[in-house]
Structure formats: structure tokens, C-alpha cells
Chains A and B, each alone.
Chain A
Amino acid sequence: MTLPIIVTKGTRAYPPRMSEFTQLFWDGLVAGRFLTTRCNACERPSFPPKPICPHCWSESVNWIDLTGKGRLYSATTVHAGPAVFSADLPYRVGIVDLDEGLRLATRVLDDTELDQPVELVVLKYEDGPLYGVRGIPA
């Protein structure tokens, strides 16, 4: 379950913050793993990873690996963006439904059409990781 890693030049335009808790996610990402939390009480996964289960508010959660596979639910190309992303314009972003029943939003690296299968990839910038999705053959 290792994600493809794409070495990417430069630094992240708007780096995410990292807590002691979410560090595990970002460290895992560098190593090609897409980790999140799953509730020990109601057994539902959550993303982004949280120390509290949003469904039943249990504080007993553990970390699981996600496959990184899913389908593109929607997407758009941004032509006018915030100042820090001006060098990226135009760029494509989208909403992805993962096979594990989780929805997330991220960069879309190609022109994959809606409802088609995609995989998460690690974007390894010089200052740290991000992630995106790209199409895979059905």
C-alpha cells in the first residue's frame, strides 16, 4: 500500500501546519503511506485524522493505512487564485471519494473525468510533502 512518490521542485505555496498528533500523518506521507484515524468504539474511519471520533466522540482511535484508491467526484480548474498560488495558475483541484468511504479534496494532476478511478500520490516538495490524485486505468 505504498503511494507513488513524485519528487517536486520548490517549496509548498501554503504549507500545512503540523501538530504532535498530525505529525504521524505527514511523516507517513513522506514514506509513501496515507494514514488516517479509525474509531475503536464505532469503527468508522475519519479524514483528516482526528484525536476524537467525529461520529461518536470517542477519544479512542487508532491509525490505519488507506489504499489511496478512489473515484473523482468533482473537479474544477482555477484560473484566478490567491496571491501565493499565482505561479501555479491555472491548476486543477477536485473532490475524491476513497474506496474506504471517505471524501477528501486535493489537487488533481491530470484531466481525469468524473467518476473515473484515481490514486493518491505523494508530492515530495523540498520543504515537506503534499498529496494529489491522478487517473489510473479502470
Chain B
Amino acid sequence: MTRSNNVAILGGAATPVGKLQGVSEDGTQQLEHEVLGRLIVEALADAGLEKEDVGSMIFTLPRPYTQQKYFATFMANYMRLPCDGLVMEVLGNGMTPALTFQVAVDQVRLGRTKVALALGINFETGTPAPEHMMSSMRATGDVDFHTPFGFTPISWYAMDAVRYIHEHGSSREDLAMVAVKNRRHASLNPLAQFRKPMTLEDVLAQRPIVDPLGLYEVPGRGDGAVCLVIAEEEIARKTGRPYARIRGEGFYHEGAHQISEVPNDMIAFEAARRAGAKAFAEAGVSAGDLDLAEIYAPCTIVEVLVAEALGLCPRGQGARQAASGETALGGRIPICTSGGLLSLGHPAYVTALYSYYELLEQLRHRGGERQVKGAELGLACTELGNYNAAMVHVLEAAA
């Protein structure tokens, strides 16, 4: 890559996904700034940098259930960190952490700072799902023309699944194998929320949530926190440590919210296809060059459709290829070695930060038992809505 202003992910730290929120029997609880503060120190140590090197902090917006408001500026005080670059919070539905990451990358690329943090904490498990959905249903639909009918965020993905099975003749079992595969990956990831191995029979036996998807094919709810260190490549190189170079980026919003009012091929995931094509072009690579991919997929079907839209699997074959192991660790193109949203967990406003962190670990060959052998090139794809917008990054190993 010849671009002069290359940007690197140089370090990171993350807390295991799980239930962090809530008051213990002894009256104590986890506080958002204490959890994240420790991760900042850990991430900087991982990057081999000092506090004084950091000039910008881009935060994911905390959930409304987080007590401390105006969290970014609170943290600037808590960590006593003056900044020349931006200190701010970012919101963009499920794309929140990806947009946060991009703003941090852009701060470095624009020369506002040489080192930026992309970080955040998602606390939500203190609020029951039916109450949480009262808010999330208003984010994934038109509040006057969709919400009154009872659409939930994942009901849109369920309709993708129904259409996919209808058009391509894939079986429910093929789709469910995506969950089985990702659970196996998660069993090898200490950060994952759901690690107990499970079988296809286990997945199919669960109660229905949004037909045809059952409990293990839709995301659980979790809390999590991540801090990534983003730096000019020159800074990264000087540390002498391995890092991940951002080699290609792509974003596309199709100008629709959940559904296009002009009938289209809803399961083509046009935004993912276009964002991917842009990222591949900028990186000068093709889908076949990738060693692994972390795909933001709240349901089994979504991983399949994104894999097809990005060209990782042929159209209509994604579910079958998941079932046959092509997208599993050891397969042709391992997808979601972290365990993905279904098993790593889905603390939604920070989930994609876990994806970038997984790629960083894989590209530094620190993936432990789930390491993709010789991983050099990885992709992350994130979204909002029903993949109405997608953001793709191609990362490569560097040292």
C-alpha cells in the first residue's frame, strides 16, 4: 500500500461479554468509568504507548440505562487527558461502534492527532428485553407506519430468512448450522459470553422467537467494553510491535430504512455488496484473498446473506457452505472466529469494536486455539437497520 497516511490498529483491550450491570448482594456494582478506565490503561500498554501520546478519544454512546451522562467528557476528566483531537460520543444504531472506529481513524488520518482511542461500554442487561424492545423497535422502523404493527429489530432479519429459504431452497437446518459453527468458535474465545458447545439438535429444540429463528439463532443480550488504540502507521512501526494496517474502507447507505418502498431484492444486501466492493478496490484485493472475516450478523441468516453479498460464498450457497464447514475454523474462509454476535455476544453499541479487536488478535497471531493459521488479511463488515447501510474494513497484518 503506497498511501502516505496509513492508519494502524496498534493495540486493544476488552472485557469478556456478559452481565456486568446490576447490584450485587453486598450492595456493590460495576461502574462504567472504572471498567473502561482499566481497559484504557491495558490497551495503551498493549500498544506500547504512553498516556501523553493520546490526542483524541472517540466513544460509543452509552445506552440510556447507563447512569453517567455526557460520558466522553466525564472520562476526559476521570483519566485527566487533555486532547487536541476530538473527544465525543457516536451513535448510529448497530453501526455505532463501527462509526466510532471510523471517526477515530479519520482523526488520525486528518492529522488532528497521531494516536486516537476508539472505545466504549455497553450496559443494558439491567433492563428486561420487553422493555428494551420498546426503545429498539423505534430505531428499526418508521414509528408511524411500521412500529404500530409490532415489528421488532430481528423480525426484519427473520423475514430475510423466510424469503431466503423460499427462493433458494435452503433448509432451516442449514441456517441453524451457522449458530453451531459460531458456538464452536466461541468455545475457544475467552471473551465470549456463550461458550458451551452445542449441537444442531440443541439449536432446533429452542423456543421460537421470530419464525423460523429460535432462541439460539438470535442474539442474546450482554454488557461489554472495548478500547482500541488507533495510530499513524509511522508511530505503530516505531514501536516494533505487530499491528493491523487499515488497507481498505467502504461505506454505503442504500437510502432506505428497513425496507425499500420501491420493491427490490431485499436479500441481496446491496449496501454490503457496494461497501465491500469499495473496500476491496481500495485495498487492491478480492474476496478470495481474505484469510478470515468478522461479520456483524445478529441472526444466522444475516451472516449468510453478507457472506454472499461480499462474494465470500456464491449466491444461494451461503447456508449450505456454513453447514458443510467452509466458513468454519479450518475451512476455506473462516467467518466470525470470535463466535460472532450469537455466541461472542451482542453488547450492541460496542459489538463491532470486538470484531476489530478479534481481527487485530488474529492478524497478530494471538488468537490462541482459534488462530487462523498464517492470517494476513481480514475483513470486518458492520451494518445498521436490515443492512440498509454497511461499513467494510480490510485489515492486513504488519510489523
Residues of A bordering B, CB below 8 Å: 12-18, 22, 46-48, 54, 73-86, 88, 90-91, 93-95, 97, 101-107, 114-115, 130, 132
Contacts and interface: CB of A to CB of B under 8 A. Distances in A.
Nearest to B163: A74
A80 B262 contact: no
A138 B151 CA distance: 27
B145 A101 contact: no
A22 B266 CA distance: 27
A74 B162 contact: yes
A80 B215 CA distance: 10
A93 B263 contact: no
Contacts of A132: 149
Interface stretch (B13-21, B189-197, B204-212, B303-311): B204-212
Contacts of B133: 81-83
A61 B141 CA distance: 24
Nearest to B134: A82
Nearest to A108: B149
Interface of B: 129-131, 133-134, 137, 141-152, 155, 158-163, 166, 207-212, 258-264, 266
A85 B266 CA distance: 26
B148 A130 contact: yes
A93 B212 CA distance: 13
Contacts of B129: 80
B211 A76 contact: yes
Contacts of A17: 143-144
A82 B160 CA distance: 20
Contacts of B131: 83
Contacts of B264: 103
A101 B147 CA distance: 22
A91 B4 CA distance: 55
Contacts of B142: 48
B155 A95 contact: no
A130 B145 CA distance: 9
Contact of B261 (A47, A74, A79): A47
Given A48-B142, A80-B209, A105 B151 contact: yes
Contacts of B163: 73-74, 114
A77 B212 CA distance: 8
Given A88-B150, A114-B166, 6 more contacts: A16-B143, A16-B144, A78-B155, A81-B133, A81-B150, A102-B261
Contacts of B210: 76-80
A86 to B, nearest CB: 7
A75 B159 contact: yes
A73 B137 CA distance: 21
B318 to A, nearest CB: 17
Contact of B259 (A54, A101, A105, A114): A105
19 contacts: A16-B144, A18-B144, A48-B144, A48-B145, A48-B261, A75-B159, A75-B162, A76-B161, A77-B208, A78-B210, A79-B210, A82-B130, A83-B130, A86-B130, A93-B159, A103-B259, A103-B264, A104-B261, A130-B148
Contacts of B259: 95, 103-105
User: Could you say which of B163, B211, B261 has the most chain A C-beta atoms within 10 Å of its C-beta?
Assistant: B261
B162 A81 contact: no
Contacts of B166: 74, 114-115
Contacts of B141: 105
A87 to B, nearest CB: 11
B150 A74 contact: no
B266 to A, nearest CB: 7
A130 B149 CA distance: 8
Nearest to A97: B263
A46 B160 CA distance: 23
